[in-house]
Amino acid sequence: MASVGIDIVENQRIGKLMSDSFVKKFLNDDELEDFRNIGTEDRRVEFLAGRIAAKEAVLKCLKTPNICSLRDITIRNDGLGAPYAEYEGHEIQISISHEKLFSVAVAMFLQ
């Protein structure tokens, strides 16, 4: 059986809210390191918006919106740079896409 989740985030809204404490609400330590290594502010906003959308999509996919924190979900990249999510030992396939105004993500979990 497969589960699917999708989410979209407005990049400008994330840019307006972006502070160190805001970022730490969504990114765990591994992701924070990647975030801090990004060179431009615009790319940081896009990265964070995409990660938030991906984590929300994972929650919808797993049907656990109130069970975990978004920091409990880790977004990683495989050897080819494609993103995937990890949560409680499970690997969830995701795709993240960016456009000037929005970042969108879809998650799929095969059980």
Q: Does 73 have pLDDT greater than 80?
A: yes
Q: Which of 24, 55, 98, 100 is catalytic?
A: 98
> What is the overall mean pLDDT for the chain?
93
> What's the pTM?
0.93
Cβ atoms of 86 and 92 within 8 Å: the answer is yes
Closest CA to 55 of 2, 107, 3: 107
pLDDT in tens, 74-97: 999 999 999 999 998 989 999 999
**What's 72's DSSP letter?**
G
Q: Which domains are seen in the chain, by residue range? A: 2-110 (3.90.470.20)
Say how many CA atoms lie within 13 Å of 93 toward its Cβ. Answer: 7
Rounded to a whole number of angstroms, the distance between the first and last alpha carbons of the chain is 5
Q: Which of 16, 24, 55, 60 is catalytic?
A: 60
> At 1, is the pLDDT very low, low, confident or very high (cuts 50, 70, 90)?
confident
Q: Does 67 have pLDDT greater than 80?
A: no
90 annotated active-site: no
